[in-house]
Structure 1
């Protein structure tokens, strides 16, 4: 973050608010509906005041909040500065009055709210925690009262406007403390007292609001343990641990640190008995929208997978602050004021990591490669509402991972479906996956599954000009067949594309994590493991294959255990994080989780 700030001109030095930063089966989860899919939009008011506009994919001007809502965002985060500059329209504003106005507007549109107190007149982060000018010469006793009064007054103003924030951050990215020097971590007892004053003020006005304490570098477990061990020892009061996660500022791909983030999320929840939330995240949507999409889906899944419903959600920092306004590389809107495809990740329902690798695809010609460009692709059937509208259905070049794709398009309004009825299926649970692009504007545009013995299931294709993976899970086949297809009810010129469609069986979940199916349980030790993980099989166990999967479901190690009741498994090359271990033998599969340190 600091490297980025130094590279900007004076007018752009606004980004100090950013910084560098499971189990597989369980009895309870945060529901997908309750999961917070959030955006920090603190720049929005001054952007609008200075003439910046926002548009949907068709170029129609819309309210930014509505655009975010249409992308699956259900929560808004707003920062509060004490007495900010009202002249510097990028680095200033975010006054208490402005925050109340924006929070009221967000609440009226149905958003949940997080309020982020910086306790400064401008940006506060690990590099600077400058006291407000009005508090500069106050004693520590006065500072405690300042924190209480400021927090109390802002929340009281929100309450008077009918706004009850679900979460309140006491300090922004404070691994080194806040209100320096009195509240530095060098004076951890005093820092704790300041945090507790903020906590007390929140609860005095809004007892149901959850108080968040927030650090950067969410993949750094040692950083978090050091801070929260000290906060706990000093009697700190809080409800939620907030994390920032910015692989971009760490100069690494998210896949390098995702398992460490997952481990830290789980460790914070279990070690301190607190809920966790990714308060800030971002990626280079301008250059790598698909990579950012993948990261957002993976991080949502990681938070969702925290045991015992302790993972609350994920907030993207300033997605709407596009670069012609801010110079900020990680905005999720383009300079034309339109959201990038990366934001489609919030349309995806968070899920647990897969219990097995992808199964065998039962569909024929899934990538539409068998015939080249055609209107009659092998194994697929078509339907249209008029004879002329059959022309809307065709295969063409520009596939996701191979030359061809399926496309629906016509110069006049049309209804069309391209489908495949698969018969002779073993009854059971199936998953449907596909890659999609969509120009938008249709009355309906869906990937669907039906005729499997239950009610039709479908998912709308997200509007995206880059390939986005979508899925339907939990398809319960009870009659030996399933029809899957692409359905369009479109206006003239609307288009969508589909490629690499997969329908495959998924295993029935066992009763609890680590419980065997039809066999006595094995045991693992030590757990957590560092160099070697020992596996002890039950007496008389048959030949067994051991497989280890990462938090993202990637197979990372396979080992045969035939002929040995006890065996050492070398895990020294695995990155730190949470893993699933599967023991597979004739007739049963057994699952365990372990942590690699």
Structure 2
């Protein structure tokens, strides 16, 4: 491959887990989770950023501290702006409370100033983000209701103009700090070509300038590996931009001995050939990575496994979440690394061998 391939992880919960007493192990040896991930081939970390959340995590101070840890390990950094005080996704794009009363023009100014100030703070401390998302899973817009493109507003050109203007403003703010930072737009439903094309065509129509496409791909919601492969092939050729799967996961267990409400808990949510076992998860991750590396023109530049370290060491997490991800991690309930992580190590080593110059 003639460009880096990112074996990534979103570990935005890590410090909260560590403060709750969570520990991580490679075999029987306890170690810093970041070190374990790096030793297993992970070379990129994604962090979410909320404007002014409850608690002490996923805010700017926390992000600055985590960015130092990440860069000290020599890792690539992907920063994900949610432009909210809490979770932003296709069902929730709530404005930050400090922006509630702003009109559309004032919102644009606030978005620009906030984005620029955050990126500037990271650059100033020597931890420049390599890639920045303008919003999280923005298929239905951002900063609702101003930037909402869901429901009856889905085909409103006026609403798409407002929404894409917010995205353009965020991208311009990032580039005003450092033009080399890669700006990404993030669409969920990575196995659904019609959804991805509809959104990305709107960005083309409204002349939004960005560098790369981010996709979420959760198989119990977004389709099969074959759906993903077909979508990647089409998007790579159609838009001629690099693509990354920046959210992905698969269960290693659905027995749920912790009695939590978990997202994947039924056999019908699984995919044929990939049972909810440690071995089934490892097989899924292997086939997933090999598949995305077949994307035409090497346009898929990597992936980020979503919250692989979210082991159940608290009853209640920031912004009201429970341990609903505990069977979708790359560590078991006690923090021991799972075979899927070893698969990432193996495939990352093969990538390095392929990229090495021939002497």
Q: The TM-score by the shorter chain falls in which range?
A: 0.7 to 0.9
Moved over 6 A (4+): none
Q: What is the total number of aligned residue pairs between the two structures?
A: 313
Paired residue for 1:305?
A: 294
For residues 215 and 345 of structure 1, what CA distance do their matches in structure 2 show? Answer: 27
Report the CA distance between 1:293 and its aligned residue. 1.6
Paired residue for 2:311?
A: 322
Whether the aligned pair in 2 keeps the contact of 1:285 and 1:342 (CA below 8 Å) is no
For residues 226 and 2 of structure 2, what CA distance do their matches in structure 1 show? Answer: 20
Partner of residue 38 from structure 1, selected from 3, 8, 17: 8
Whether the aligned pair in 1 keeps the contact of 2:189 and 2:221 (CA below 8 Å) is no
Q: What is the TM-score of this pair, normalised by structure 2?
A: 0.83
Whether the aligned pair in 2 keeps the contact of 1:30 and 1:310 (CA below 8 Å) is no
Whether the aligned pair in 2 keeps the contact of 1:281 and 1:317 (CA below 8 Å) is yes
For residues 40 and 305 of structure 1, what CA distance do their matches in structure 2 show? Answer: 23
1:292 and 2:281 matched:
yes
1:101 and 2:65 matched:
yes
Whether the aligned pair in 2 keeps the contact of 1:152 and 1:204 (CA below 8 Å) is yes
For residues 309 and 220 of structure 1, what CA distance do their matches in structure 2 show? Answer: 20
Partner of residue 84 from structure 1, selected from 18, 40, 53: 53
User: Which structure has the higher relative contact order (CA within 8 Å, separation 6+)?
Assistant: 2
Paired residue for 1:75?
A: 44
Paired residue for 1:64?
A: 33
Report the aligned-residue RMSD. 1.8
1:204 and 2:176 matched:
yes
Aligned pairs for 1:302-451 (under 5 A) are: 302-325=291-314, 326-328=323-325, 329-349=327-347
For residues 315 and 291 of structure 1, what CA distance do their matches in structure 2 show? Answer: 19
Report the CA distance between 1:145 and its aligned residue. 1.1
Report the CA distance between 1:179 and its aligned residue. 0.6
For residues 291 and 150 of structure 1, what CA distance do their matches in structure 2 show? Answer: 43
Whether the aligned pair in 2 keeps the contact of 1:117 and 1:172 (CA below 8 Å) is yes
What's the secondary structure of 2:139's corresponding residue? Answer: coil
What's the secondary structure of 2:224's corresponding residue? Answer: helix
Paired residue for 2:318?
A: none
Paired residue for 2:148?
A: 184
Q: What is the TM-score of this pair, normalised by structure 1?
A: 0.51
Report the CA distance between 1:97 and its aligned residue. 1.2
Paired residue for 2:244?
A: 277
What's the secondary structure of 2:142's corresponding residue? Answer: coil
For residues 61 and 347 of structure 2, what CA distance do their matches in structure 1 show? Answer: 35
1:113 and 2:65 matched:
no
- What's the CA shift string for 1:430-474, capped at 9, x where partnerless? xxxxxxxxxxxxxxxxxxxxxxxxxxxxx89xxxxxxxxxxx99x
Partner of residue 262 from structure 1, selected from 210, 229, 254: 229
What's the secondary structure of 1:46's corresponding residue? Answer: helix
Paired residue for 2:185?
A: 213
For residues 104 and 126 of structure 1, what CA distance do their matches in structure 2 show? Answer: 30
Paired residue for 2:257?
A: none
Q: If each structure's strand is expressed as a fraction of its own residues, which one has the higher value?
A: 1
What's the secondary structure of 1:235's corresponding residue? Answer: coil
For residues 324 and 332 of structure 2, what CA distance do their matches in structure 1 show? Answer: 12
- What's the CA shift string for 1:541-579, capped at 9, x where partnerless? xxxxxxxxxxxxxxxxxxxxxxxxxxxxxxxxxxxxxxx
What's the secondary structure of 1:241's corresponding residue? Answer: strand
For residues 277 and 184 of structure 2, what CA distance do their matches in structure 1 show? Answer: 31
Report the CA distance between 1:189 and its aligned residue. 0.5
Report the CA distance between 1:319 and its aligned residue. 0.3
Report the CA distance between 1:226 and its aligned residue. 0.7
Task: For structure 1, list consecutive stretches of 5 or more residues without a partner in the other structure.
Answer: 1-28, 87-91, 251-255, 351-458, 461-471, 474-597
For residues 116 and 139 of structure 1, what CA distance do their matches in structure 2 show? Answer: 24
What's the secondary structure of 2:45's corresponding residue? Answer: strand
- What's the CA shift string for 1:311-363, capped at 9, x where partnerless? 1101000100113443313122111111111222211337xxxxxxxxxxxxx
What's the secondary structure of 1:323's corresponding residue? Answer: coil
For residues 73 and 191 of structure 1, what CA distance do their matches in structure 2 show? Answer: 34
Partner of residue 49 from structure 1, selected from 11, 19, 24: 19
Report the CA distance between 1:299 and its aligned residue. 2.1
